[in-house]
Amino acid sequence: MSAGVRVLILTLSTLHGPAAVSGALSGPTNVRWTSYNMNLVLRWDPPAGAASGLVYTPQYKSRFPSDFRAGCTNTSQLQCDFSSQPNLSMSVYGKFRGRVRALLGAESSDWVQSEEIFLERDTIIGPPNVSLTSTEDSIDVIITDPKFALSTLKDVYGSATVNYNLSYWKEGHEKEARSLSDIQQSRYVLDKLELWTSYCVQVQINAKMNPNPSEPSRPVCERTTSTKQVPWVAAVVTFLAIAVVTAAVVVAVVYRQRISNLLCPKDTLPQRFKEAPKSSMYMAMQDSHPPEEHYDPVSIIADVSAVEERRPLQETGTSCSLIVGES
């Protein structure tokens, strides 16, 4: 190569900068979109024989905005989650396109584009969370939707277009599972079940704008009972009863001697309290004789002349004489 040609190449490199070497590197491969619970992640594989120190710049665009925007500039990772970038705001509807290129120092590869993705249609909906409570011969099934990276399940698809498929079976008999579909409520009651029997429940979500049902929830099992009861009340009552009995036993053992002396005292009543009090008056009454009684005879004699003349005593008056004889 002549000196003039070399000078020309150096001059062009100085004028156009490092970008003039674009295309010297091989681009990343297998560029693709993935979405789980409404996140938006662009993934790729490194080029064949990638050199050490290789970095990547991924970009995306949708209808709004219509131009490409960078999310993870000069990253060494093989993916970029655009939905987690604080400086980006995106709609959950419409199609998205992605592209990425490799960079090594002043060199850069060509842009490699991905296929389009419709976020609300192509995202994978994760499993719901399911909890159970039992009451006699029924089990309450409470369903909680998975958390979305952008918006919520009901906001994206609408409450009227979201429903649940529910399967339940006796524990150990999964092949005999019964299925219920098109459940609109996030709470459902399985009634008329066998008493004292353990049942397992599994739930999937259906959204009409997404052709695929969600991942199934993990099986959750609960046992029916025979009577209505509040478990924590029974536990508290049992604990208090055990505590009272234990305390009574401890007190009886520690203070058994005092309790025995209290119930069966060994001390007798002093002799002085057993003897009846004898005052001087009482003694005098005991030794004295009854007093001698004195009396005089009394005679009443009517007027004989009044009796003979048959006159009333009122007219004649009553004449009495008192004869007192000395005894």
Domain assignment present for 72: yes
Q: At 34, which helix (H) or strand (E)?
A: strand 29-34
Expressed as residue numbers, the domain containing 100 is 6-122
CATH code for the domain in which residue 157 is found: 2.60.40.10
Q: Please check whether residues 19 and 114 belong to one and the same domain.
A: yes
Domain final residue pick, 66, 94, 122: 122
Domain assignment present for 282: no
Q: Please check whether residues 49 and 98 belong to one and the same domain.
A: yes
Strands (E) located in 145-196: 162-170, 178-183, 187-190
Domain assignment present for 104: yes
Q: Please check whether residues 141 and 204 belong to one and the same domain.
A: yes
| Euclidean distance between CA atoms 151 and 89, whole angstroms | 12
| Euclidean distance between CA atoms 25 and 32, whole angstroms | 20
Domain final residue pick, 189, 223, 257: 223
Q: By the 8 A CB rule, do 147 and 37 touch? A: yes
What is the model's pLDDT at position 8? 40
Find the Cα–Cα–Cα–Cα dihedral 307, 312, 316, 320, rounded to 10°.
Answer: 60
Q: Please check whether residues 202 and 139 belong to one and the same domain.
A: yes
Mean pLDDT per block of 10 residues along the chain (327 residues) reads 41 40 77 96 92 91 83 93 87 92 92 95 97 93 96 94 96 94 95 94 96 96 76 74 88 76 66 59 63 66 52 49 46
Q: By the 8 A CB rule, do 217 and 167 touch? A: no
Domain assignment present for 232: no
Q: Please check whether residues 10 and 83 belong to one and the same domain.
A: yes
Cis amide prior to 128 (ω within 30 degrees) = no
Domain assignment present for 290: no
Number of domains in the chain: 2
Give the three-class secondary structure for 160.
helix
| Euclidean distance between CA atoms 98 and 71, whole angstroms | 11
pTM (predicted TM-score): 0.62
Domain assignment present for 307: no
Domain assignment present for 175: yes
Domain assignment present for 105: yes
Domain final residue pick, 223, 254, 287: 223
Q: Please check whether residues 142 and 93 belong to one and the same domain.
A: no
Q: Please check whether residues 81 and 146 belong to one and the same domain.
A: no
What is the model's pLDDT at position 41? 97
What is the model's pLDDT at position 28? 95
